[in-house]
């Protein structure tokens, strides 16, 4: 199956699933982020309905508390000032005016939606990387389930050979989704597992190879070099691979996630973010900081524990959910 055929099948699947999935539940899952940004801005506007220096100082604090980051906060405030103040302070505006402009500025920062990378010819190889505890294996399992549900053949590579529990967890996901898992014994060379996974995919005509890598702190130089080795092996075995390097980031990690993204980007050229646990944080603004500072698009978001709670990230839908009270 070539890239266009896979994309068409996934699009049909996503279109069929969307009414009961993404739009129906996203607002509820992002309620904490909405309250931390929209709710506080509404409260500020009730106290300070004029766009004076004090208003912008307090708005700056609200955005920083939501982990939007200094650079991006400055950009958003400049956009608000440019669009609402008309060159002079003291103008009285409605709350909806401010929120609508802020929403538009946020969508501008996030840019257009970017789909997962695809190989021109099968298989497409996706590496999932990140520090310990960010939900890498769960992300791999849910992504595998989605591909399998659309009819694609998937090979999972258990390249986290440091923990037997991680290998067993991936086996559970593979059995659940009906995907083959390539595994070695605990302590084996992760690059050897990646090699075998690529060979199995080519032999079986699989559509996807998803590699679950070991969690590692971004400060562990030797482990980061090992990750680079896995990537080199994949590049050698399948032309153009890996077609996607997803960094799994815990949305609750805040600005530390920005540091992680910077380091992993330098080591393995991260192409997209899978932001997990977004439903459990009031600081979803980290999405903006990562996109604006590093230019790495958020491609997937985890908004719950269910097997279908890993969704494609769409900036407009994200903004609609956060600013859910606006008409």
Residue 238, Cβ density class (10 Å: 0-12 exposed, 13-18 middle, ≥19 buried):
buried
**pLDDT averaged over every residue in the chain:** 85
Q: What is the pLDDT of residue 204?
A: 95
pLDDT digits (tens, 9 = 90+) for 111-126: 999 999 999 888 999 9
pLDDT digits (tens, 9 = 90+) for 132-156: 888 899 999 999 999 999 999 999 9
Alpha-carbon distances of 293 from 45, 76, 147, 288, 314, rounded to whole Å: 28, 13, 31, 8, 19
pLDDT digits (tens, 9 = 90+) for 42-76: 999 888 888 889 999 999 999 998 888 899 999 99
Global pTM reads 0.85
The residue to which tokens 């009730």 are assigned: 46
- Could you tell me if residue 17 is inside a domain? yes
| Cα dihedral across residues 10, 113, 259, 28: positive or negative | negative
CATH number, position 307: 3.40.50.300
- Could you tell me if residue 272 is inside a domain? yes
- For residue 315, what are the domain limits? 3-24+113-322
- Could you tell me if residue 189 is inside a domain? yes
The residue to which tokens 């840019």 are assigned: 111
- Could you tell me if residue 98 is inside a domain? no
- Could you tell me if residue 305 is inside a domain? yes
Alpha-carbon distances of 190 from 30, 200, 234, rounded to whole Å: 36, 15, 11
- Could you tell me if residue 77 is inside a domain? no
Looking at the 3D structure of the chain, how many domains does it have? 1
- Could you tell me if residue 91 is inside a domain? no
- Could you tell me if residue 209 is inside a domain? yes
pLDDT digits (tens, 9 = 90+) for 155-186: 999 999 988 888 999 999 999 999 999 999 98
Q: What is the pLDDT of residue 8?
A: 55
Residue 228, Cβ density class (10 Å: 0-12 exposed, 13-18 middle, ≥19 buried):
middle
**pLDDT level of residue 223 (50, 70, 90 thresholds):** confident
Q: Which residues contact 289 (CB under 8 A, 6 or more apart)?
A: 67, 68, 69, 71, 72, 255, 258
CB 224 within 8 A of CB 263: yes
């Amino acid at each position: 199956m070539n890239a266009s055929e896979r994309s068409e099948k996934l699009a049909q699947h996503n279109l069929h699933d969307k009414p009961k999935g993404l739009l129906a539940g996203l607002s509820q899952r992002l309620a904490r982020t909405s309250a931390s940004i929209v709710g506080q801005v509404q409260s500020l506007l009730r106290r300070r309905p004029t766009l004076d220096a004090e208003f912008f100082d307090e708005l700056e604090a609200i955005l920083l508390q939501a982990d939007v980051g200094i650079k991006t906060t400055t950009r958003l405030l400049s956009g608000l000032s440019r669009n609402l103040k008309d060159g002079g302070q003291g103008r009285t505006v409605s709350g909806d005016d401010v929120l609508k402009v802020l929403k538009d500025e946020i969508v501008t920062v996030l840019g257009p939606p970017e789909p997962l990378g695809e190989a021109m010819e099968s298989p497409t190889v996706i590496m999932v990387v990140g520090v310990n505890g960010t939900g890498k294996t769960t992300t791999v399992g849910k992504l595998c389930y989605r591909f399998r549900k659309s009819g694609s053949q998937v090979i999972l590579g258990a390249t986290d050979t440091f923990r037997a529990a991680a290998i067993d967890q991936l086996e559970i996901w593979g059995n659940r989704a009906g995907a083959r898992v390539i595994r070695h014994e605990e302590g084996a060379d992760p690059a050897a597992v990646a090699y075998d996974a690529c060979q199995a995919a080519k032999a079986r005509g699989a559509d996807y190879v998803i590699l679950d890598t070991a969690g590692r702190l971004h400060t562990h130089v030797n482990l980061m070099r090992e990750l680079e080795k896995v990537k080199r092996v994949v590049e050698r075995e399948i032309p153009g691979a890996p077609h996607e390097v997803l960094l799994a980031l815990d949305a609750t990690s805040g600005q530390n996630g920005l540091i992680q993204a910077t380091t992993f980007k330098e080591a393995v050229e991260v192409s997209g973010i899978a932001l997990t646990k977004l439903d459990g944080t009031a600081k979803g603004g980290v999405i903006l900081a990562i996109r604006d500072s590093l230019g790495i698009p958020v491609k997937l978001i985890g908004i719950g524990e269910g097997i279908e709670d890993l969704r494609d990230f769409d900036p407009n839908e994200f903004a609609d959910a956060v600013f859910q009270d606006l008409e």
